[in-house]
Structure 1
Amino acid sequence: MNIDRLAAILKQAAQEEIMPRFRRLDEGTIKTKTGAFDLVTEADVGAERVITAAINAHRPDAIVIGEEAVSANPKLLDTNFEDRIVIYVDPVDGTANFAGGLPLFAVMASVVQNGETVAGVIYDPVGDDVVMAERGCGAWQVFPDGRTLRQTFAAAVPLAEMGGLASTAFLPPEQRRAVMGNLSQVKMTANYRCAGHEYRYAAGGNVHFMMYAKLMPWDHVAGALIMREAGAHVAKFDGSPYRHTDLDGGLLVASDEESWNALRREVFAV
């Protein structure tokens, strides 16, 4: 699917289903899935419905796998679609932020063809701009007026000067305690509870590393491609390449391989 068309579909869904509900959600329209910070709203469901229908209309040969569809039918993630075009969709990434009225949520989609990620799109409904990448073509921010800005991950700095984004919530308790202690070796860490905005922020060269322990494809396939196209070193905790079928093993992003190794050895080697 054409990446501009995909970005337009995400924008349409946001305008129709997400933004009209932002800071206008009734209490009964917010539901808990697996925990206090894992929520779903009518905006998630409506946006995924619109995105899926639009993709099916333009590319009926593609398989659309959305977060809410998998929530209803987890077996979707066990199906082998290696010979098909697969489009992963996160209709509202950062639902807890959205439900709380915080303008840090995004709409994401990624395209996988022949088992390889070929395109990723992250749309910001509040800023009305998109960060996107096609394999081998670099990462770009596209503004509402059509301006484009090439995205470049931050240059390497010593460990003590690094600032990064780390999601520790899904680490086992003992490992989480150790990692949070080890993070004192870097200058700054943050977590926005929205991988989409974290990847957008990182693509613009604003942090030196990112770490995630939970790997759902709608959260990371688009972002991982954007990071690679922005010049970052992206790998699972064991050093192997990250693939869209990986659901565990942790993901670490850094400025270069040397920085990645230093972070893995000093901060996340537990």
Structure 2
Amino acid sequence: MLMEKVTEILVEASAEAVEPRFRALADGEVMEKAPGEIVTVADREAERIIARRLRELLPVPVVGEEAVAADPELARALHAEPAAWLVDPVDGTRNFVAGRSSYAVMASLVRHGETVASWIWQPCARTAYTAELGAGAWRDGERLALAKVATPPEEWTGILKTRYIAHPGGHRLLSNALALGPLDPGRGAAGIEYPLVADGALGFLLYWRTLPWDHAPGSLLVTEAGGRSARFDGSPYRPEAPGGTNGLLVAADPEQWETLRGILLEGV
């Protein structure tokens, strides 16, 4: 019941606050919330709707991207409280503002610092991805199960995000990646990129900055589909307050993850 209800909340909030503004944002509806970071009225209104309805469903703190931008202390609930909701009302805001379809609406439920359920709604594709810890991952109700990767590393294609890596580390990562297949340029939205791995369309993802609302939903989705999402030292991903840049490697199967770590992180 919870899984279906939260999906319904995201779909309805998207229909009410986000989709009517897609390619229809008026002057003054796009603002800068921090240097280099933009927000729209759609982000803020959708987060208010989702937060209110999630609290009605389960009355625990809501850690929303836009609320945390206004009050960073709210993110402490991820570890200070037994349970908390995580919300990304428009993942891929730059894509949304530019009129590109690669954006998503996302939520997660965190208990005792661990993501136990997640939801990704892709409005333009009309596709919902859900995952529940220990129970599996689904696309529109269809169970996702990743097969063991049988191709050699030189055929593996993935996304490598080096923007927040201090050089020369970023250069070294890109140099190491020459041993793999062609890199995908990325889609500018974690809610688009993680499902590509869970669907078997992409082999791996590497991120440096890992804001919790961006990565909690997709990490659980890939893991429950049979892949692996872990920090560079091998520890499993756990959502943390913004500010950390300790990296995250995601792969379609655990053995592939180990091989990728050996290739990509050599000398980094």
TM-score (normalizing by structure 2): 0.92
Amino acid at match of 2:138: W
Q: CA deviation at 1:10?
A: 0.6
Separation of aligned partners in 1, 2:124 and 2:147: 25
Cα deviation 1:32-85 (Å, max 9, x = unaligned): 23444x32111000100110111122222x111100000000112234645432
1:250 to 247, 251, 259: 247
Indicate whether 1:116 and 2:114 are aligned.
yes
SS of residue paired to 2:121: strand
Residue pairs, 1:53-68, within 5 angstroms:
53-60=52-59, 62-68=60-66
Amino acid at match of 1:110: S
* C-alpha RMSD over aligned residues: 1.7
Specify the alignment match of 2:42 in structure 1: 43
Specify the alignment match of 1:7 in structure 2: 7
2:135 to 118, 124, 137: 137
Specify the alignment match of 1:84 in structure 2: 82
Quote the sequence identity (%).
39
Residue pairs, 1:160-199, within 5 angstroms:
160-190=154-184, 191-199=186-194
Separation of aligned partners in 1, 2:189 and 2:121: 12
Q: Greater CA deviation, 9-18 or 26-35?
A: 26-35
Separation of aligned partners in 1, 2:240 and 2:201: 28
CA contact (8 A) 2:146 2:253 kept: no
CA contact (8 A) 1:154 1:202 kept: no
Q: CA deviation at 1:26?
A: 2.0
Specify the alignment match of 1:145 in structure 2: none
Specify the alignment match of 2:261 in structure 1: 264
Separation of aligned partners in 1, 2:81 and 2:211: 20
CA contact (8 A) 2:190 2:214 kept: yes
Amino acid at match of 2:50: I
Q: CA deviation at 1:154?
A: 5.3
> How many residue pairs are counted as aligned between the two chains?
263
SS of residue paired to 1:173: coil
Change (3 A) 1:80 1:207: closer
Separation of aligned partners in 1, 2:202 and 2:265: 17
SS of residue paired to 1:189: coil
SS of residue paired to 1:234: strand
Indicate whether 1:229 and 2:228 are aligned.
no
Change (3 A) 1:109 1:151: same
Q: CA deviation at 1:20?
A: 0.3
Q: CA deviation at 1:202?
A: 1.2
Change (3 A) 1:27 1:170: farther
Separation of aligned partners in 1, 2:35 and 2:97: 14
Separation of aligned partners in 1, 2:78 and 2:175: 40
Q: CA deviation at 1:90?
A: 0.2
Separation of aligned partners in 2, 1:25 and 1:89: 22
1:128 to 126, 129, 134: 126
CA contact (8 A) 1:214 1:250 kept: yes
Separation of aligned partners in 1, 2:112 and 2:254: 27
Separation of aligned partners in 1, 2:143 and 2:215: 20
1:72 to 70, 73, 81: 70
The runs of 5 or more residues in structure 2 that have no matched partner are: none
